[in-house]
Amino acid sequence: MTSTVVAGAGGFIGGHLVKRLLQDGHEVRAVDVKPIDEWYQVHDGADSYTADLSEKDAAYRAVDGAGEVYALAADMGGMGFIENNKAACMLSVLTSTHLLMGARDCHVERFFFSSSACVYAADKQLDTEVTALVESDAYPAMPEDGYGWEKLFTERMCRHFREDFGLQTRVARYHNVYGPNGTWTGGREKAPAAICRKVAMAKLHGDSAIEVWGDGLQTRSFMYIDDCLEGTLRLTRSDITEPLNVGSSELVSINEMMDIVCDIAGVELERIHDLSAPQGVRGRNSDNTLINRLMGWEPSISLRKGLERTYDWIENEVLAAAAAGDRVNV
């Protein structure tokens, strides 16, 4: 049996994807640059090992003999990280390039690349009442500086590797994926995890207020991890060759998401708005017209349901850290 390779398997989405592929009966090769004891999930059924896939030889070894490759490996995090680490984000192009070259030369059947809604033109995301982004809104190009440019560039490489070499590439533009078993502290966490952590810690310590980045009016859509996995697998096995939005169309403000988390936690908290903190675009939402038309499917897990599962996991992590006397980096 040929292997299914997950590059970036030690990360949040990668760990969940390895689990799903194993459940579906695949032979999985899981690779990440981090030491295995730093992976978010390690699954006994997978061939898991550490390698720096930005190096050409390591990338070729990883994809040799594979039928499918899921390229999730990237140096990234939430808005606080990508706004302050633009060069590091762009260096992920080395990993993407070498994985594509290896997939071409090792005759991989399908190559999936995880792109991002950060590729979309900034001038279409200036209002909180944003018009949902359709796939064509990526051009004329004006993506998120650093991270968004790397994603858009690799999208083009996927297209040209398909056109020039016949490698079957598939590209998903993820919109704010969240869920348990991911980053929730340390500076790379995204908004849902950060809010869940802040609420859980305030509840634990009896605090009456928490800090919110920005005015809280900025809007986003957030996709629960199970929907992300389903969309990823459907797209990879489809005949859809152009980049496709894979995201929820449920638009919510940061203040509204905080209301949901506080309600789940059973607390009422004041908000201290830090207007100097990184905020990203004012509004971003996924237009799911194309994915509905081409696949007859779109993400459907509500934000409330996804946050209930996410908050429960993060609160347990906060409580475990407190019981162990560990300092939580906020």
Q: Residue 204: give its domain's CATH number.
A: 3.90.25.10
- 230 and 312 co-located in one domain: no
Q: In this structure, which amino acid lies at residue 145?
A: D
- 134, two tokens: 């359709």
Backbone φ, ψ for residue 47 (5° rounding): -85, 95
CA-based end-to-end distance of the chain: 45
295 part of a folded domain: no
Antiparallel, parallel or unpaired: β 270-274 and 244-246: unpaired
Structural domain tally of the chain? 2
Antiparallel, parallel or unpaired: β 219-221 and 251-253: antiparallel
Q: Which residue has the tokens 């004329």?
A: 140
- 214 and 229 co-located in one domain: no
Between CA 14 and CA 46 the distance in angstroms is: 12
**Residues of the domain holding 38:** 3-177+224-246
Between CA 45 and CA 24 the distance in angstroms is: 12
Return all residues near 159 (Cβ < 8 A) that are at least 6 apart. Answer: 169, 241
Angle of helix 12-23 relative to helix 225-236, nearest 10 degrees, comes to 60
- 144 and 192 co-located in one domain: no
- 168 and 265 co-located in one domain: no
- State the CATH number of the domain containing residue 37: 3.40.50.720
- 196 and 80 co-located in one domain: no
- 20 and 53 co-located in one domain: yes
Provide the annotated active-site residues: 147
- 64 and 151 co-located in one domain: yes
Task: Look at residue 329 in the predicted model and tell me its pLDDT.
Answer: 66
Q: What is the pTM of this model?
A: 0.94
- Digit-by-digit pLDDT tens for the chain (330 residues) are 569 999 999 999 999 999 999 999 999 999 999 999 999 999 999 999 999 999 999 999 999 999 999 999 998 877 778 888 999 999 999 999 999 999 999 999 999 999 999 999 989 998 888 899 999 999 999 999 999 999 999 999 999 999 999 999 999 999 999 999 999 998 889 899 999 999 999 999 999 999 999 999 999 999 999 999 999 999 999 999 999 999 999 999 999 999 999 999 999 999 999 998 887 789 999 999 999 999 999 999 999 999 999 999 999 999 999 998 887 766
- 172 and 261 co-located in one domain: no
- 314 and 172 co-located in one domain: no
- 28, two tokens: 């999985």
280 part of a folded domain: yes
CA 39 to mean position of chain CA atoms: 15
- 159 and 44 co-located in one domain: yes
